Structure 1
C-alpha cells in the first residue's frame, strides 16, 4: 500500500507556528487559542498601518519627500469582537480625519461576522437565549436578545422578495402539503396551517415555490395559492401529488386544466391500516405493494383482486382502496421512472420534517417569526439541492417525451 502523501506546508507558516509554540509554551488547545487571540491585536494593527501607508502615500518613519501635508496623528484604543473573542487594538488616525480603513471601518467594533453566525443558529431552531449563550461561550462576548432580533428582522425584506419572486413557467412535478405551527395570539397559542409547495423543474432541480399561512387547511385557500403561483409565472404543471383534501383536485384543475392530480399512495396506506390490527401490518402492506408496484395495469388489477379477497375481513381498509383505485390505475399510464416520482409525497414530507425540527420548540409570536425561520431553513435546503438534480431524471424526462400528453408541452418550455 502506498504511503499517503504528506500535506505540503508553507515554510514561513511552519516557522511562525514554531515560534508561537516556543514563545507561548503552548501545552493545550486553550493555550493555543489564547496565543492566537493575543496575536490578533498586532495583526490587525499591522494591517491598519498598511492601509494608513497607502492612504498617506508614504511609510512610517520614511525619509523620502512627502506628497501630502497630512500626517499620522497617534491612535485610538479600540476593542474588537472577533472569532477569538474580544481583542484590544490601537487604531491609527491621521490629522485631517480623512483615513477610512477597510479592514476595520470607523465606528465598527465587530469583525466576527456575527450576523451570519446568528442567522445560521436561528435557521437551526435555536432560541434567542440559546444563541446568546452560545455566542458568549464560544467567542467570549455577549449578544443581546434585541441585537439577535434586529439581525433576524433584517432579512424580512429578503423574505418578502423571495415570496413574490417570479417562478419558472413549467414544473412537471409539484408536491403540496400542510404542516402546523403554534402561533401566539394575545395570551393564547393556536395551531395554524403552513402551506408548502415543492416543485421539480424541467432540469430535475428541486425548488420551494413558496410558503403561505392560514388558520387551517382548506380547498379555498389552496385555490388562492394556485392562483398566486400562476400570477407569478407558472403556466403549466404536469402532476400534482397531494394528500386527500376534499375538493382540492377540482380546484387544482380549475387553475391548471392540464394537470394530473395524484393521491399519495403512502397516505392511502396510512389511512387504510387504521382498520388493520398491528399484527397484520407487515403482511397487509406487502400485499399492497404488489398492487401499486406491479409491472403493468393488468398485473395491478389481478393483484388487487387477490388483495381484496385475502383481506376481506377488514372491509374498512378495503373500502379505502376501492374508493381511490383510480389513483392506482392512472399510475400505469406512465413509465416506471415517472411513476416512482409521482406516487408519493415523500419528497415534500421530508421538507416538512426538516421544518418541524426547527419549529417544534414552542410558539411563535407572529407570522413574521414563522416566515423568517422557515425561509432560512429553505436556504439551507436549497444549498444541498443546487448541487445536483433528481436521481434518474434523464429517464423521467425521456418517458415524458414519448407520452403524447406531455411531448409538445415539454418542447414549448425546454431549452435543448
Structure 2
C-alpha cells in the first residue's frame, strides 16, 4: 500500500468538522497525548524509568492529581503526575495554551487520515515545539491507533440521523514521492435534536459512482439507517449511489453549491441587485413562496441576454434545492446552511 501524506485545507474543512460532533474523539486523543507527554516529562525529570534502580535518580513518583483543562472544545480531565518532593512541574499545560488551535488541527488531521508516526510527531511538536524521541512517538502511536480506529468504525445504529450531508473535496497528497490530487469523502449528519455529527471519512482517487456507493455502503454496514433526506451536490455518480443505497430517501441538492453555480453564470460586474434578488429566493418559508419569488426573478430579468445562462441553470435545478422547505420549520435554517 502506498504511504500517503495529506496536506488538508482546514479552512475548507472547518465547517464540516470543527462545528460537528468530533468532541468525543478529540477529547479522547487530547487526554491520551497530554497524559503521556506529562508522564514522559516526569521520567525525564526523575532521570529514571518506573521501578528502575539508578544512582542518578533525582526523586520518586508519587501518583497523580486530577486537573481539568479548559479547551476550545470543552473541559478535558487530565491526570497530572507528582513527585515526593513536589518540585516537578509539567510544562505541557502552559505549552498547550500557546498552541491550542494548531494542536487541535493537528489532532483533527490525524483523526481524518489515520494514525501514523509522522502524524503523531506533528501532534506532539505542535504541543511542545521541539523534537521528541522516536521511542516516545512509537509508544504513543501504538496507544492512539486503537482509539482512533475504534472511533472510525463505531456503530451508527444507536442514533437515527434523519438528515445526512455528503460531500467531497480534493486535497494534495504525497504518494510514491510525488504530489497527486485525492478526493476525501465526508459524511456529516444532523440528529433529531439539531446536533451535528461527523459520521465518517474516506479517500479515493476521484469521485465516481462506485467509490460513492462503497462509501455509503460502509456507513450503512456500521448501522446508518436510511435518512429522510440526503443533501449533496449534483454529481451524477453521487446521486445514483444515494438512490441505490438508500432506497426511498429524498435527495436535496446543496443550496450552497447550486447558488454558486448560478452566480458563476452571471456577469462579473454591475449585478449586485441581481445577486440580491436571486438570494431572496431562498428566504422563502415554503416551497410555494420560494417558487413565487423565483418566478418573479425570472420575469424581471428574462429579457437580459447576459443573464440567460444563469436563468437556465436556475430553472433546471431549482426544484431539487427546495426539498428542505417541506421539513419541520425548526430545522429549515439547518438546511439553508448545509455543510458545504
Of 126, 132, 135, 1:143 maps to 132
Once the two structures are superposed, the pairs formed by residues 161-172 of structure 1 within 5 Å of their partners are 161-168=150-157, 169-172=159-162
Aligned-partner SS, 1:278: coil
Aligned to 2:169: 179
Aligned-partner SS, 1:226: helix
Deviation string for 1:56-77 (max 9, x for gaps)?
A: xxxxxxxxxxxxxxxxxx9843
Of 198, 207, 218, 1:217 maps to 207
CA contact (8 A) 2:103 2:127 kept: no
Of 157, 165, 171, 2:146 maps to 157
- Superposition deviation, residue 149 in structure 1: 6.1
CA RMSD in angstroms comes to 3.8
Q: Distance in 1 between matches of 2:91 and 2:186?
A: 31
CA contact (8 A) 1:194 1:214 kept: yes
C-alpha spacing 1:303/1:132, structure 2 compared with 1 (3 Å): closer
C-alpha spacing 1:133/1:287, structure 2 compared with 1 (3 Å): closer
CA contact (8 A) 1:243 1:264 kept: yes
CA contact (8 A) 2:167 2:185 kept: yes
Aligned to 1:235: 225
TM-score (norm 2): 0.62
Aligned to 2:19: none
Aligned to 1:287: 277
Aligned to 1:77: 56
Q: Distance in 1 between matches of 2:246 and 2:190?
A: 16
Deviation string for 1:82-105 (max 9, x for gaps)?
A: xxxxxxx344xxxxxxxx864579
Does residue 311 of structure 1 match 2:301?
A: yes
CA contact (8 A) 1:199 1:209 kept: yes
Q: Distance in 2 between matches of 1:305 and 1:224?
A: 40
Does residue 324 of structure 1 match 2:305?
A: no
C-alpha spacing 1:149/1:122, structure 2 compared with 1 (3 Å): farther
Q: Distance in 2 between matches of 1:195 and 1:270?
A: 20
CA contact (8 A) 1:170 1:202 kept: yes
Greater alpha carbon shift after TM alignment, 252-261 vs 295-304: 295-304
- Superposition deviation, residue 267 in structure 1: 1.1
Does residue 264 of structure 1 match 2:251?
A: no
Aligned to 1:340: 333
Of 175, 193, 200, 2:183 maps to 193
Q: Distance in 2 between matches of 1:130 and 1:75?
A: 32
- Superposition deviation, residue 257 in structure 1: 1.9
Aligned to 2:196: 206
Aligned-partner SS, 1:258: coil
Aligned-partner SS, 2:319: helix
Gaps of 5+ in 2: 1-41, 47-52, 65-80, 108-118
Q: Distance in 2 between matches of 1:221 and 1:233?
A: 19
C-alpha spacing 1:134/1:253, structure 2 compared with 1 (3 Å): closer
- Superposition deviation, residue 162 in structure 1: 1.3
C-alpha spacing 1:216/1:328, structure 2 compared with 1 (3 Å): closer
Rg larger for: 1
Aligned-partner SS, 1:211: strand
Aligned to 1:400: none
C-alpha spacing 1:287/1:228, structure 2 compared with 1 (3 Å): same
Q: Distance in 2 between matches of 1:202 and 1:133?
A: 37
